[in-house]
Amino acid sequence: MLSRNSIVTLVLWFLFSAVGGLSGFFATTKDPPVALGLAVVLPVALFVFYYLKRGKLYQQLRELDLRFLVLPQTWRVMGLFFLVDLYRGLLPAGFALPAGLGDIAIGVTAPLVAYLIRSNSPHKQAVYVAWNVLGIIDLVLAVTLGILHSQSTFGILAGGTTTALMSVFPRNLVPTFLVPLFVILHIAALSRFREVQQTGNRASAVTG
């Protein structure tokens, strides 16, 4: 399981995102929206940096069951709220439709992928890798479309309705907390799966 330090880090990260959203710190009316951009990218960059150092974080993740890295993605069914906000006229279709439908697809299939990796299916490796890669692409696409439909100078696709709603609480928790967290889980899941496969191959070579 996660260490106390990891849990404390997650709680503090969540609180920072919540307070930032409530205070307008991440507002896309600030041009350029540096705070929002860093909130999305910096956690992922820090994770990759510390993971590659193969320290405590790396060791903790090595002890986790692969399903623990997959099943949290089920929460992405919350992409349904993007569609609700689209229906209410609060978000542009160019952002809400692909972001919402993509998240729902990943969230609905997460339990199936978690089951598959414990099965004897000859296709489990290909499906697992493809699912994680598609999950990352969906998140990157959502962030990109969110920026292109924003009020900032990068909002070249913005119309009468923008993605300004995504920069204030509680919806700002999506780009500043959930998106980078889900990306981190995908990266960790791919890395762990690769290690599990290599360990299995080495064991087969020794016993074969």
Residue 118 pLDDT = 86
User: Mean pLDDT across the stretch 60-84?
Assistant: 92
Among residues 192, 86, 79, which one has the least CA distance to residue 135?
79
Sign of the torsion formed by the C-alpha atoms of 9, 184, 91 and 103: negative
Residue whose pair of structure tokens reads 């709680």 in the numeric block: 11
Q: What's at 56, amino acid-wise?
A: K
- Residue ranges per structural domain of the chain: 4-197
Q: How confident is the model at residue 194 (pLDDT cuts 50, 70, 90)?
A: confident
Residue range 131-150: average pLDDT?
Answer: 96
CA dihedral (188, 180, 110, 97) in degrees, to 10, reads -150
Mean pLDDT, residues 132-150: 96
Average pLDDT (64-83) is: 94
